[in-house]
């Protein structure tokens, strides 16, 4: 990569204004990391105001050969927005307008810097619904969600971000502006560039506008929990609910270690003696919800649940979700370092995965805390360690390797929603074959022949 | 393209067996066309038995430079499986096994030659549901449906084929076998090759196996019709139902010309004096269905429906769908040639489109019959003409041009589910920009550097 010269910085400042391009160390350090442990200082941080400025900065990068790493709030879990090769971090938070919520056609047009949770509130106020709900929704951006193809608890019923992106406006690494997809309910004109860019982790183009599909807001939501003395009973219950052809709105799994940590943080009176808790929601007409919850409660009980509780107030349900969303940061109570892998296995293999994790924890002596979207087989496995201790660091690495091996052996995937970024790049080749990786690398070259956009991501250096 | 030599034919016969590769004119003529008016004779027709044979034939094509056009039942509407450059038509109907229906995980593995309707029956017998339902489902194949990203009436609620494809096994034009995607409920490991190949109209790879997502079969279905004296009232009713945040399972529109033709064919006692009929279904719990149908009936009446009827027997509902699915062929009663375009507009613009079509019919003197998936804005517009009459042929061409112009002006797309193939290739550039088309052409080159797989499709020759 070409270094960023003083002259180039001045040109960038000419495009975005000198207030919106900084090289001050105290600013650069704020944009050096994401929610993974990765950390690399950029040479400059640029805050474009609109698509035109994004395009002009990228045209400059194309001409001068410096690299650009786009980002939103930096809440990614795999280093996708960490500027590993230095250069410019392009922060898209100023492109933060909800341009349109079209209640006649159930679509919205938004800029990438809109906070996901704000968008939820805006559409819900109009009786509409945007299902993707990563746990980071209170601060992550829609642009980041689309770039990573974020999921969340509601994916079990409603699918992931990809399923709600109808069309994009984006800027190619050479500064060309493109428009993909449609703003209608469906469309098949040419290759699906929309879903190629969605989930490409900011490596193919910088998204500057998104057309998102909305649904009518479900009439009501019912929430319940089920407690188990044996984690394997909880795992089997997840499979059994799906086997009974019930697809709840959410079907979350929280193990004992996770329950304990989050209770310590929030003091909500969570059942910290349970081996595992399932947090289940259904949505639809109130009567149908009641019937579904009763059916699910019966399945939980038949599988050995020691307690089944329906949340009878909105506050009770909200507390449960507050707890669920606080787990990830709370786990640092257990150890200073956390390796968080969002593996997915076929839902019926969750009991096998749980058994494998128990064995792995015993063998390595490391605490492994699990929670996540069990309903779609997506378990967040957190290997807790103190990496300053070389023995623990080595064991954590070994546990990660074996976790991925077991995941693939069970027919799963190494990432359900966090993407590959840099932290999973060394493992991608274990899941994706050589011919397929070659196609992906060549597609990258089609979009970014000079390799200046978010370099070092997804593909392990060879 | 290289011609197919006698020696190459013998090599192909060595791979698939001499019974499964034919050059007889009477066989070749059967594989020269699809459901569009296009028609080109292949040099040979090959029927591989499995993925290995597909790969070996493609490796041969790669070595010798002859071209290969894959197909299933040949029911496509835009010439996607017509061998415009001659060479080999590769018929995938022998790869017709349902390999697995996994009731624990709600996924199925199937070969491309499985008839879509057979698959519907197989999963429904297990209480599961595969929503995509193109009108050709009784004879079209799942492989063709995935290659074209087929839709159907249920797309308004359930989305299109793309939304149900989790992973693929496919053969590249050089004979390399690839596996894409996952067999879990979600996954984001690398670029989304699965959805790039789905909808690529057989131009990137030959699909040999698909992992499809299933849903629980809805408990019950409720069916109703609403008749209107004014087609614009029917169009406004469609918009109003969506605006009231009701998303029915199907929301079909049938105009007077279509009603008349299909009644002439089937003699079902359809309301041939109505200006338009809406055919609406909801699914879910029986009580919820009743409530939804009542709400929809009230909207229909408030918008001017002259008659609203709930189908009270399964037979009555089946008759309505039999009529709906028979419209497309029945239209030939109106004129010997039919230009069938599956345009989509934002749902709220359907009234504008209906008005524009009335004007177009008046101005050209041609009958334009409309029906289709109004709920998602996808109207099948049939321009009826006798192309042997040069004046009518010219007017039909002019009407098509103006239809697409109007579609794009209203914010729509030129294809909702039929794909581009050869018949829409001249129009693709009106919807998709130059930079985007260049990306698509380069992606084609990544997969098929020698241009031997299904040449002449999607991209207009330049």
Among B190, B216, B242, where does a domain finish? B216
Q: Is the pLDDT of residue B461 over 70?
A: no
Q: What is the pLDDT of residue B3?
A: 82
| Mean pLDDT, all residues of chain A | 95
Distance from CA of B181 to the nearest CA of A (A): 9
Residues A346 and A301 in one domain: yes
pLDDT category, A245, cuts 50, 70, 90?
confident
A319-369 per-position pLDDT tens digit: 999 999 899 889 998 999 999 999 999 999 999 999 999 999 999 999 999
Judge: A195–B190 Cβ closer than 8 Å, yes or no: no
Q: Is residue A158 part of a domain?
A: yes
DSSP code of residue A115: B
Distance from CA of B186 to the nearest CA of A (A): 5
DSSP secondary structure of B182-209: -SSS---SSS-HHHHHTTSTTSS-EEEE
Q: Is the pLDDT of residue B175 over 80?
A: yes
Q: Is residue B170 part of a domain?
A: yes
What is the percent of chain A where pLDDT is above 70? 100
Facing A160 at nearest CB: one of B186, B291, B378: B186
pLDDT category, A461, cuts 50, 70, 90?
low
CA-to-CA separations, A46 to A13, A58, A92, A210, in angstroms, rounded:
8, 11, 9, 21
Judge: B187–A247 Cβ closer than 8 Å, yes or no: no
B233-274 per-position pLDDT tens digit: 999 999 899 889 899 999 999 999 999 999 999 999 999 999
Q: Is residue A452 part of a domain?
A: no
CATH (domain of B173): 3.30.465.10
Residues A333 and A283 in one domain: yes
Distance from CA of B111 to the nearest CA of A (A): 19
Cβ-Cβ pairs closer than 8 A, A with B, add up to: 270
* Nearest residue in chain A measured CA to CA from B292: A285
Contacts of B294 in chain A (CB under 8 A): none
Q: Is the pLDDT of residue B462 over 60?
A: no
Q: Is residue B453 part of a domain?
A: no
Provide the 3-class DSSP secondary structure of residue A67: coil
| Token couple for A364 | 């390595």
* Nearest residue in chain A measured CA to CA from B216: A245
Contacts of B182 in chain A (CB under 8 A): 344, 412-413
Contacts of A428 in chain B (CB under 8 A): 189-190
Contacts of A104 in chain B (CB under 8 A): 239, 242-243, 346-348
In the structure, how many helices (H) and strands (E) does chain B have? 15, 18
Residues B43 and B24 in one domain: yes
Judge: A377–B195 Cβ closer than 8 Å, yes or no: no
Contacts of B239 in chain A (CB under 8 A): 104
pLDDT category, A285, cuts 50, 70, 90?
confident
Q: Is the pLDDT of residue B460 over 90?
A: no
CA A68, CA A206: separation in Å to the nearest integer?
10
Q: Is the pLDDT of residue A2 over 80?
A: no
Q: What is the pLDDT of residue A462?
A: 47
Residues B28 and B51 in one domain: yes
Q: Is residue A443 part of a domain?
A: no
A175-210 per-position pLDDT tens digit: 999 999 999 999 999 999 999 999 999 999 999 999
CATH (domain of B310): 3.40.462.10
| Token couple for B398 | 């002019």
- Arithmetic mean of pLDDT, B402-409: 97
Judge: A433–B217 Cβ closer than 8 Å, yes or no: no
Distance from CA of B112 to the nearest CA of A (A): 20
Distance from CA of B266 to the nearest CA of A (A): 31
Residues A181 and A227 in one domain: no
Facing A347 at nearest CB: one of B185, B200, B245: B185
* Nearest residue in chain B measured CA to CA from A375: B185
| Mean pLDDT, all residues of chain B | 95
- Sort A297 into a burial class: Cβ within 10 Å, 0-12 / 13-18 / 19+: middle
Least confident of A321-330, A406-415, B213-222: A321-330
Least confident of A36-40, A443-447, B93-97: A36-40
User: Contacts from B435-442 at CB under 8 Å and sequence distance 24+?
Assistant: B435/A172, B435/A176, B435/A177, B435/A178, B436/A178, B436/A179, B436/A180, B436/A190, B436/A193, B437/A190, B439/A172, B439/A178, B439/A191, B439/A193, B439/A446, B439/A447, B440/A190, B440/A191, B440/A193, B442/A446
Facing A104 at nearest CB: one of B182, B243, B418: B243
State the Rg of chain A over Cα: 22
- Sort A6 into a burial class: Cβ within 10 Å, 0-12 / 13-18 / 19+: exposed
Contacts of A195 in chain B (CB under 8 A): 162, 192, 195-196
CA B206, CA B204: separation in Å to the nearest integer?
7
Among B61, B91, B121, where does a domain finish? B91
Residues B172 and B264 in one domain: no
Judge: A411–B184 Cβ closer than 8 Å, yes or no: yes
Contacts of A286 in chain B (CB under 8 A): none
CA A44, CA B143: separation in Å to the nearest integer?
49
- Arithmetic mean of pLDDT, A144-172: 97
CA A144, CA B128: separation in Å to the nearest integer?
34
Residues B164 and B25 in one domain: no
Judge: A106–B242 Cβ closer than 8 Å, yes or no: yes
C-beta atoms surrounding B122 within 10 Å = 16
- Arithmetic mean of pLDDT, A267-294: 94
Interface with chain A: mutation pick from B77, B106, B144, B189, highest number of A CBs within 10 Å: B189
Answer whether B4's CB lies under 8 Å from B44's CB: yes
Look up the domain containing A291 and give its range.
220-409
CATH (domain of B35): 3.30.43.10
Judge: B188–A412 Cβ closer than 8 Å, yes or no: no
CA A460, CA A425: separation in Å to the nearest integer?
5
Q: Is residue B437 part of a domain?
A: no
Q: Is residue A291 part of a domain?
A: yes
Residues B286 and B207 in one domain: no
Facing A242 at nearest CB: one of B104, B179, B189: B104
Contacts of A457 in chain B (CB under 8 A): none
Contacts of B419 in chain A (CB under 8 A): 188
CA-to-CA separations, B224 to A146, A276, B309, B443, in angstroms, rounded:
38, 47, 5, 45
CA B451, CA B462: separation in Å to the nearest integer?
14
Residues 6+ apart with CB under 8 A from B448: B172, B173, B203, B204
Q: Is the pLDDT of residue A152 over 70?
A: yes
Structurally, chain A folds into a number of domains equal to 3
Residues B207 and B138 in one domain: yes
Judge: A191–B187 Cβ closer than 8 Å, yes or no: no
Contacts of A127 in chain B (CB under 8 A): 245
Q: Which residues pair with A341 in a beta bridge?
A: A381
State the Rg of chain B over Cα: 22
Judge: A105–B348 Cβ closer than 8 Å, yes or no: yes
Judge: A172–B435 Cβ closer than 8 Å, yes or no: yes
Q: What is the pLDDT of residue B180?
A: 98
Residues A194 and A102 in one domain: yes
Facing B245 at nearest CB: one of A127, A416, A439: A127
**Direct distance between the N- and C-terminal alpha carbons of chain A, in angstroms, rounded to an integer:** 17
CA-to-CA separations, B420 to A134, B409, B423, in angstroms, rounded:
36, 19, 7
A265-278 per-position pLDDT tens digit: 999 999 999 999 99
Facing B190 at nearest CB: one of A345, A377, A458: A458
The residue assigned the tokens 């006698």 is B6
Residues A207 and A254 in one domain: no
B116-133 per-position pLDDT tens digit: 999 999 999 999 999 999
Strand order of the sheet with strand A220-228? A307-310, A220-228, A276-284, A250-255, A368-373, A378-385, A337-344
B305-350 per-position pLDDT tens digit: 999 999 999 999 999 999 998 998 899 989 999 999 999 999 999 9
Least confident of A163-167, A245-249, B99-103: A245-249
The residue assigned the tokens 């052409």 is B441
Judge: A447–B439 Cβ closer than 8 Å, yes or no: yes
C-beta atoms surrounding A173 within 10 Å = 24
Residues B188 and B151 in one domain: yes
Strands A128-129, A107-110: parallel, antiparallel or unpaired by DSSP? unpaired
Among B57, B91, B125, where does a domain finish? B91
Distance from CA of A91 to the nearest CA of B (A): 23
Contacts of B433 in chain A (CB under 8 A): 178-179
Judge: B420–A287 Cβ closer than 8 Å, yes or no: no
Q: Is residue A450 part of a domain?
A: no
């Amino acid at each position: 990569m070409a270094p960023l010269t003083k002259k180039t910085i001045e040109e960038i400042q000419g495009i975005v204004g000198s207030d919106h391009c900084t090289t001050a160390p105290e600013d650069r350090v704020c944009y050096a990391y994401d929610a993974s442990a990765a950390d690399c200082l950029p040479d400059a941080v640029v805050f474009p105001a609109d698509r035109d400025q994004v395009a002009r900065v990228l045209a400059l990068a194309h001409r001068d050969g410096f690299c650009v790493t786009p980002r939103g709030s930096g809440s990614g879990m795999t280093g996708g927005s960490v500027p590993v090769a230095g250069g410019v971090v392009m922060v898209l938070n100023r492109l933060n307008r909800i341009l349109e919520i079209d209640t006649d056609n159930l679509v919205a047009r938004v800029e990438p810097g809109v906070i996901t949770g704000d968008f939820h509130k805006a559409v819900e106020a109009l009786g509409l619904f945007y299902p993707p709900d990563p746990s980071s929704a209170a601060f992550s951006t829609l642009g980041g969600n689309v770039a990573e193809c974020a999921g969340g608890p509601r994916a079990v019923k409603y699918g992931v971000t990809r399923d709600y992106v109808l069309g994009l406006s984006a800027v190619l690494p050479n500064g060309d502006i493109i428009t993909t997809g449609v703003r209608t309910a469906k469309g098949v004109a040419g290759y699906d560039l929309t879903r190629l860019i969605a989930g490409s982790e900011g490596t193919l183009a910088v998204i500057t506008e998104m057309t998102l599909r909305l649904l009518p807001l479900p009439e009501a939501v019912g929430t319940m929990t089920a407690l188990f003395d044996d984690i394997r009973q909880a795992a089997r219950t997840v499979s059994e609910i799906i086997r009974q052809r019930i697809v709840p709105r959410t079907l979350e799994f929280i193990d004992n270690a996770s329950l304990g940590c989050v209770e310590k943080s929030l003091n909500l009176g969570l059942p910290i003696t349970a081996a595992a808790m399932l947090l289940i929601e259904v949505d639809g007409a109130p009567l149908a919800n009641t019937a579904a919850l009763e059916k699910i409660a019966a399945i939980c009980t038949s599988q050995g649940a020691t307690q089944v509780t329906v949340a009878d107030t909105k506050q009770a349900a909200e507390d449960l979700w507050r707890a669920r969303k606080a787990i990830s940061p709370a786990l640092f109570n257990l150890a200073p370092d956390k390796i968080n892998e969002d593996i997915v296995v076929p839902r019926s293999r969750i009991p096998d995965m749980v058994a494998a994790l128990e064995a792995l924890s015993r063998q390595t002596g490391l605490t492994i805390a699990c929670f996540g979207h069990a309903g779609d087989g997506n378990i967040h496995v957190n290997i807790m360690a103190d990496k300053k201790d070389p023995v623990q660091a080595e064991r954590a690495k070994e546990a990660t390797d074996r976790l991925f091996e077991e995941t693939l052996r069970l027919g799963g995937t190494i990432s359900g929603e966090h993407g590959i970024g840099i932290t999973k790049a060394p493992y991608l080749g274990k899941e994706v074959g050589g011919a397929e990786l070659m196609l992906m690398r060549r597609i990258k070259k089609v979009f970014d022949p000079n390799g200046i956009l978010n370099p070092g991501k997804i593909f392990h250096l060879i």
